[in-house]
Structure 1
Amino acid sequence: MNETEYKFDATKTVDGYGAIDIVTNFYTPRVIAEGRVPTDENFRDQVRMEQGPRKGLTPEEYIEKMDRAGIERSLLIATRCGDRRLSTSTEIPYEYIYEACQAYPHRYSGLAGINPLLGISGLKELDKAVHEYGFVGAHLYPHWFGQSPDAAIYYPYYARCAELGIPIMMQVGHCLIYRADNRLATVARPMALDRIAIDFPELTIIGIHLGYPWTEEMISVATKHRNVFMCGDAYAPKHWGASAVHFANTYGQDKFLFGTDWWVIDPERAMKEIHEFDMRPVSKRKLLRDNAIKVFNLPE
């Protein structure tokens, strides 16, 4: 793509502005060929993933999908899934995400995956991701490390994110069987964020995956704490549930962000279903764009 092709044309969208997807897995043919995807075919069948994308999309091909969906920017995750000394664990190097963001700065921003087992070296890598690579946030999968989000092992990373002035998102709610040879336990209920928010009032925390099946619990924590937000990703919008949609449309309109967790949810489907909601225009814009700009300090 050239300079004109990767710039987003908001005039072609339903509402005249582009959405921001804050949860996007970077599954390219290269990443798949190197065995860096943490799920197996059984998982992909379970979430009814289409066959074509299973081979991966290049950064350019995914931008084409974003354009069709009306998404201006996607936050790409340098995922870290478990103890990298184990054969069932995977990670996407920060450098892979940095390359895509450098090539298409108007369309992609990076999120630094957290592996708390790396100790001080992991903190130094996080510093580099933010200061040198321009990453806008951090990402944590607690179930891959077998400990609740409020466990002590994560606290140095929460402190460093607060110091760096970046938000951290983490999966809360249950987890599926991502691969048959490594069955992970559910360790992250949304209420665990309550303790973190108290201990780190300067830290912006985002509970992703709706907190399902404890969505009401996620809403309660986001309502209690000014520094806690939630994201409607990993579930198609029509399955978010009435309470989540009501929260996003009314009293929680400043606390709810949009994401897909691609591959899990296709952005074209997600955007179509959101446009079918009976939402207030101001609430819809906050959900799809404005809240992400504020939370991640993104360019307008």
Structure 2
Amino acid sequence: MTLVTVDVHTHLGERGTHVGGPLADDEMRVWGRTHWDVTPAGHAAAAAAATASVVLAFDAEPVGTVVPNEYVAKAVADKPNLIGFASVNPTRPDAAARLRHAVEDLGLYGLKLGPTYQHFHPHDPACLDLLEIADHYGIPVVWHQGTTFTRAAIAEFARPLQLDLPARRFPALRMWIAHFGHPWTAEALSVVRRHEHFYVDVSAMDTRPWQLAQALATASEYQVFDRVLFGSDYPFSTVERTITGLHRAAALCRSLGIANVTASDIDHICARDAVALLGLRPRPPRSSQQPPGP
């Protein structure tokens, strides 16, 4: 039986309260249904499929969706299997203060950035200033650096190669690209190969078997398979569906002769200890005596 040690990519957020605007409208346009409508109780039940799960805030007002840091901090409080990550849009005037508050007062472990959703370029000085703060605290950064379904996103900010400059600027900062950077999976892996503290996750790729097979083959060719992290992108997928998709893509690699990705290789992705790899060190919040606000 395949076991998942750490799911590095899961979401919270309720439609109408946190998830709205063009992103929610485009979700219905593309799929004809709502996926992103997750209460803390529903998330906690799904998270039982992994030993630990990263829970991402989402500060993307330009696309109509804001899952606050305080909301995530409250949802993960007293749940040792849940690891809360902040999200801060670097374009906010108080971005630095928001990140410091998330780390020092809320006790969150990392930072989620999505340039295509948050409408900034990864080379923007405001972004680099925020990364300097993350580097100071030693918290990892996950990037949504790839395509997306909503028309409100800015596609030209989404290419994975744009992360090469931040990686050069902050060589000790642990960072990873979500969703294998699809559809630019080889480009994402070229960044990972160049920088020893860079990773990718496999989230939301189980419904894209050909892209996932190509990505796994490229990771094997570039000899960075050990930096591929398990992620489900719940509620857009689940741990179980992600495992099935990974094994299906590995079988496709073998049947097409593009790479000898074995079932054991997939088991290693699922069992990878991302907590240790990413340096996810607990930081008790200064305000731990008072529960975070709603």
Range of TM-score over shorter length: 0.7 to 0.9
Out of 76, 101, 104, the residue aligned to residue 76 of structure 2 is 101
Equivalent residue for 1:142, pick from 106, 115, 136:
115
Given the two structures, how large is their TM-score scaled by the length of structure 2? Answer: 0.79
User: Does 2:145 correspond to 1:172?
Assistant: yes
Number of matched residues?
A: 268
1:194-233 → structure 2 map (5 Å cutoff): 194-233=164-203
Counterpart in 2 of 1:75?
A: 54
Select the residue among 132, 155, 159 that pairs with 1:185.
155
Question: Does the 8 Å contact 1:249/1:283 carry over to 2?
Answer: no
1:40 lines up with 2:24 in the alignment: yes
- Deviation at 1:158? 0.8
Distance verdict in 2 for CA 1:260–1:48, change over 3 Å: farther
Q: Kindly state the Cα deviation for residue 173 of structure 1 after the two structures are TM-superposed.
A: 2.0
Partners of 2:224 and 2:213 in 1: how far apart?
A: 13
Deviations 1:1-25 (A, max 9, x none): xxxxxxxxxxxxx23x433221111
The question of whether the paired residues in 2 share the 8 Å contact of 1:256 and 1:291 is answered with no
By how many angstroms is 1:240 displaced? 3.8
Q: 1:111 to 1:43 in 2, by over 3 A?
A: same
Note if contact 2:142-2:177 (Cα within 8 Å) is conserved in structure 1. yes
User: Aligned partners of 2:214 and 2:162: how far apart in 1?
Assistant: 20
Could you tell me whether the CA contact under 8 Å between 2:116 and 2:153 is conserved in 1?
no
Q: Is the aligned partner of 1:113 residue 2:87?
A: yes
TM-score by length of 1: 0.78
Contiguous gaps of at least 5 residues in structure 2: 252-260, 282-294
Deviation at 1:114, TM superposition (A): 1.8
Q: For 1:266 and 1:57, how far apart are their aligned partners in 2?
A: 13
1:62 maps to 43
Counterpart Cα distance in 1 of 2:144 and 2:153 = 16
Counting aligned pairs with the same residue, the percent is 23
> Does the CA contact (< 8 Å) of 2:144 and 2:177 recur in 1?
yes
Segments of structure 1 that go 5 or more residues without pairing to the other structure are: 1-13
The Cα shift of 1:91 comes to 1.4
2:232 corresponds to which letter in structure 1?
A: T
Distance 2:7 2:79 in 1: 15
Corresponding residue of 2:104? 131
Displacement of 1:247 in angstroms is 4.6
Once the 2 structures are TM-superposed, how far is the Cα of residue 36 of structure 1 from its aligned partner?
Answer: 3.3
User: What secondary structure is seen at the aligned counterpart in 2 of 1:32?
Assistant: coil
Would you say the 8 A contact 1:177–1:184 is kept in 2? no
Per-residue displacement from partner, 1:115-142 (whole Å, max 9, x unpaired)? 11224x3222212222333322100110
Closer/same/farther in 2, CA of residues 286 and 92 from structure 1, 3 Å limit: same
| Shift in CA distance, 26/239, structure 1 to aligned 2, threshold 3 Å | farther
Q: Greater CA deviation, 109-118 or 140-149? A: 140-149
Per the alignment, residue 254 of structure 1 pairs with: 226
- Alignment match, 1:6: none
State the Cα distance separating 1:275 from its structure 2 match.
4.4
Higher RCO, 1 or 2 (CA under 8 Å, sep at least 6)? 2
Mapped partners of 2:28, 2:205: distance in 1:
14
Q: Which residue of 2 aligns with 1:290?
A: 272
CA-to-aligned-CA distance 1:133-161 (integer Å, 9 cap, x gap):
33221001101233321222201111111
SS of 1:241 mapped into structure 2:
helix
